[in-house]
Amino acid sequence: MPFLAGALRDGDHEVRCKAIEAIGRIDATGHAALILGCLQDPSRQVQQSAAEALWLPGGAVTPPEALAFLCAPDADAQVKASLAKSLTRHGDPAVIPHLIDALATTQADARAGLVEALREQPDPRAMAPLLGLLSDDDGVRSEAALALAAIGDDKAVAPLASRLEREPSPDVRRRVVWALSFFTPGKVLPLLTGSFGDSDPHVRQQAVQALAEICDVAELRAPLSALPKRLDDVRQALEEAIEALECDATLGERGRSRRVSIGTVHYA
């Protein structure tokens, strides 16, 4: 380890990056302070390596210098995003207010990364700012929808439904549809079946996949008879989902638990 610590002072930034990566692989939690100090390196690449390698031990108090970096106006957006994700690994609830404060950054990439971190460590305190981000840039809106799903408060259903109705981006609509499927089924089923008529085929497929996660066979069969002919792709996707559920039931492999997590967004 002394050799690697010495390499952090090497004049070549690539050597410093390799040293950080090696320290992280050997004992990231035991050398968190050493890695954290590299956030002050003049090289953005070294900062990025440090942000990705940082791994605090479970239950640890988050170092103030890490929290300060999140809110530093001149810090690199990608480094901020990577650091935010790393800071959720040790489950310190005290980090949440700082992640929320850091959302004030003008860098959209950093906001998206911070929101992704809030998805990884869902906390009701983040709900109001996340709702506000549903009108942000495309990437931020997408992550905000998924982070709200991770919190799981049904009060988010109406704002997400409103976002879905006026959302111009098919990619964002896909994520909103997926996010809606993590709330109380009775509150979201009409929104998901309503997405069968979306102009984008990928959104329609996402709606079927979302329904397949929260519905039983009878509930999936219900909308089939009302589908117009122009939605043959939806009909086929529903029939395939029904077949898969029936097969799972025959094999005894499926209860009411979901098969995929919030961060897994399917694409047709």
Q: What pLDDT does 108 receive?
A: 86
Q: pLDDT at position 56, please?
A: 85
pLDDT of res. 265: 42
The answer on 189 and 82 residing in a single domain is no
Residue 235 token pair: 């009909």
pLDDT at 184: 93
CA distance 67 to 92: 12
Q: Is residue 3 part of a domain?
A: yes
Residue 109 domain-assigned? no
Q: Which residues of the chain have pLDDT under 70?
A: 249-268
Q: What pLDDT shows up at residue 254?
A: 52
- Is residue 131 assigned to a domain? no
Point out the domain boundary residue: 52, 73, 89: 89
Phi, psi (deg, nearest 5) at residue 169: -90, 120
Count the domains in the chain.
Answer: 2
Neighbours of 139 (CB within 10 A): 19
For position 91, what pLDDT does the model report? 84
Q: Of 89, 105, 121, which residue is a domain's last?
A: 89
User: Would residue 212 count as lying in a domain?
Assistant: yes
Examine the domain organization and report whether 84 and 181 are in the same domain.
no
Q: Do 173 and 265 fall within a single domain?
A: yes
Say what the pLDDT of residue 70 is. 84
Which domain range does residue 43 map to?
Answer: 1-89
- pLDDT value of residue 58: 79
**Residue 41 domain-assigned (yes or no):** yes
b/e 86-123 (16+ beta carbons within 10 angstroms → b)? bbbbbebeebbebbbebbebebebbbbbbbbbbbbbbb
What is residue 264's predicted lDDT score, i.e. its pLDDT?
Answer: 43
Position 171: which residue type?
Answer: D
Residue with tokens 């992550």: 143
Q: What is the pLDDT of residues 102-123, one digit of tens each?
A: 888 878 888 899 999 999 999 9
| Residue-level pLDDT at 252 | 61
Domain final position from 89, 107, 123: 89
Distance CA 22, CA 157 (A): 44
Predicted confidence at residue 149, as pLDDT, reads 95
Residue 82 belongs to domain with CATH number: 1.25.10.10
Closest CA to 42 of 25, 66, 17, 21: 17
Whether 67 and 161 share a structural domain: no
Q: Do 166 and 228 reside in the same domain of the chain?
A: yes
Residue 151 sits in the same domain as residue 268: yes
